[in-house]
Amino acid sequence: MSGSGEAVGAILILVGAIFSLISAIGGIRLPDVYTRSHAASKSSTLGVLCALVGTLLFFLISDGYFSIRLILGIFFVFLTAPVAAHVLCRSAYRNDVPLVGTAEDELKDYYMENENTDEDKEEVTENEAPAIKLIDNETPLQVSET
């Protein structure tokens, strides 16, 4: 009766563990921050999704217990792991971590232009910041008086 549930859960968890091992080997062997992040985020997310789906199916088939918390965990991991990898790669790029390989850095020209405009905008806002603060201090008084 519970043999099929055990088989499905064990096989899916084993496949997820093997995906996690492959992602960890990619994290050791790849030469760069970005390629390592590529390996770690995608393959490790797929591995943990396989393991959690295996757990869900095991408890659903063998016990008839459907866990909302496990569904929520699957959804949350699936949603947040690529976002974390994206933010980490962006922080590494902005700290000028070098990228290894034959591909040329196509982001750099656009990024330098963008950074220059950002600096100009920051200077402008720094110059205008006291005026904005004065207006913000005055406007609630006028509103309260009227």
Partner 1 sequence: MIFQTILLIALGILMLSILANMYRVVKGPSGADRVQALDSIGINMIASIAAYSVLFHTHAFFDLILLIGILSFIGTIAFARFIERGVVIERKR
Q: For binding to partner 1 (CB under 8 A), which residues are involved?
A: 6-7, 9-11, 13-14, 16-18, 20-21, 23-25, 27-28, 33, 36-37, 40-41, 44-45, 47-48, 51-52, 54-55, 58-59, 63, 65, 67, 69-70, 72-73, 76-77, 80-81, 83-85, 87-92, 94-95, 97, 129
Distance in Å, CB of 107 to partner 1, minimum: 15
CB of 109 to partner 1, least distance (A): 21
Query: What does the angle CA 66 – CA 71 – CA 73 come to, to the nearest 5 degrees?
Result: 135
- Smallest gap from Cβ 121 to partner 1, in A, equals 14
Could you tell me the smallest distance in angstroms from the CB atom of residue 103 to partner 1? 19
CA distance 14 to 112: 46
Q: What share of the chain is helix, strand, coil (3-state, %, to 5)?
A: 85, 0, 15
Count CB atoms within 10 A of the CB of residue 111.
13
Q: Which residues contact 66 (CB under 8 A, 6 or more apart)?
A: 56, 59, 60
Q: Which is nearer to partner 1, 6 or 120 (CB)?
A: 6
* Distance from C-alpha of 142 to C-alpha of 146, rounded to nearest angstrom: 6
Q: Which is nearer to partner 1, 85 or 111 (CB)?
A: 85
Nearest approach, Cβ of 141 to partner 1 (angstroms)?
20
* Closer to partner 1 by Cβ: residue 72 or 112: 72
Measured in degrees and rounded to the nearest 5, phi and psi for residue 68 equal: -70, -35
